[in-house]
Amino acid sequence: MASAHSHTRRWWSQEAHGIRVSGEGTIATLLISSLVIYVTVVYQRRKKLPPGPWPWPVVGNLAVLAGLPHRNLQNLAAKYGGLMYLQLGQVPCLVVSTAAAAKELFRTHDVIFSYRPKRLDHEIISGKSYKSLTSAPYGPYWRQIRRICNTELFSPAIHASHVSVRSEEIHSMMKVLLAESRTEKAIDLKSWLTGVTANNMTRMLINKRFFGTGVSDQQEKKDFEEIFDHIFAAAGTFFISDFIPKLRFVEMLQGKIAKLTAFRKFLHSVIGKIFEVEKHRQRALERGNDPIYVPDFVDVLLNTPLDNGERLTDREIISILSSMIGAGTDTTATTVVWAMSELMVNPKIRKQAQEELDAVVGDSRLVEESDIPNLPFLRTIVKETFRLHAPVPLSLPRCSEQPCEVAGSQFPANTRLILNVFAIHRDPIVYENPDSFQPSRFVDHPEVDHMSGKDFYGLIPFGAGRRMCPGYHLGNVMVSLMLAHLLHSFDWRLPAGVTEENLDMSETYKLVGLRKKPLFLIAKPRSPAYLY
């Protein structure tokens, strides 16, 4: 009997082993078959598409969006070309990385790719309204808001009327800088510049300064800086549910949705305090048709009906104002910080710029806006800074509204378009030594001008096509003016222990290409006109 039981156990053991081997073989066969099918399908599909890296199952090429995505994409473009295809989860994507590819695409497909993909951060922060100038879909609403901004903020007449505002705000903060320079302490240049650009924008929008220079204003300044740090950080964050919608629970588990929701409340609280939309509405009712009152931009938004006869809601107005002040504040300040960073490691170029300023402006007055056209070398420094350190190295993503054909390949609707401005500005076909800071390259080629409006795509710091930044002229003037004042009125040196050779020039990405470490400099007055 024992022998029979032993025999039975051996039989069951052999059978179980055979089942396991058979099961493992079946699983292996299924995996291999699935892999072969996947590779075959992807290979057949990609034969009809522009070149690009091989996608992983499910996630595709999403890994390239981590870290410094503009550099990751530039490295891939060096292998695959100026027009590259990526599979971002479930989303097809075209990446433009050379001037020639940008020119070809925008000449023929600008309208098709003028739409915005829906993003988690836009959805939560805007309350699903998508009504800011940056996030609104291309169409009647967007065209009306763009027209209002062009007419009421960025027209030549309005720009000229704000000359005194720009001058007053720069001079006001220069006094602060002068006082701080007497202590010989290192100054956080970015913080100082943000005060200039923020006050300039609030005066343009609501005819009043938001930041003062007293201790009581520090919390407001801190809140303001925190808002746009969060906005740009969110805009530069990779949200996996934007590319694989079924994985939104991942963002919930990571707490991203809760953080965005909390930030939306904070944003509306601070921006509401700045712009006081409801107070504007009440004041309009109280004053009636007062012919003396000059309306500000909030009044314009409240009183301008859309083409369908409806008025903008408070939420829509806050979204528009937030995008305006964000685009005109942090990006401009960051560009000047990069310009000063490059000039600190290139003292000969800095000295040449100061010599030009001394020759044109002299030492009996401060720089004026009318001086800028007479400062050609300063303008080359501004161009080279915009080239090497474009405010937004990857332009805000676009998407196609309908199927289209690009470079002989068919793409479905909602194909994303990424314009890699960082890579385009380093296109070796356009620029020699593209990674070097060489303003002289624009002395030799003055026709390369991001402000000319000509059909040139080698220098596009404000984007390209219909959705390029509407305030590009203001941005260029503010960068030029602030940089000219800093160089004309002060000499600069690095803090103890920091040299031209070891100044950290590394970057971080939060939609805007920021310095990884703040730039601290010590100022010494050099212009007698400023010693009062």
Give CA–CA dist 63/253, Å, rounded. 20
Q: Which residues pair with 188 in a beta bridge?
A: 520
> 53 to each of 75, 86, 378, how far by Cα in Å?
11, 7, 41
Which residue type is seen at 328? G
CA dihedral 478, 479, 481, 485 (to 10 degrees): 130
Contact 371, 484 (CB under 8 A): yes
Give CA–CA dist 316/282, Å, rounded. 18
Q: Is 449 exposed, middle or buried (0-12, 13-18, 19+ CB in 10 A)?
A: middle
Task: Provide DSSP, 413-434.
Answer: TT-EEEEBHHHHTT-TTT-SST
Task: Provide DSSP, 367-401.
Answer: --GGGGGG-HHHHHHHHHHHHHT-SSSBPPPEE-S
Cα atoms found within 13 Å of the Cα of residue 37, Cβ hemisphere only: 6
DSSP-derived letter for residue 495 is: P
3-state secondary structure of 92: strand
Give CA–CA dist 259/197, Å, rounded. 27
3-state secondary structure of 348: helix
Give CA–CA dist 532/512, Å, rounded. 37
- 93 in a known ligand binding site: no
According to DSSP, the β-strands at 409-411 and 507-510 are: unpaired
Binding residues for heme: 469
Binding residues: 469
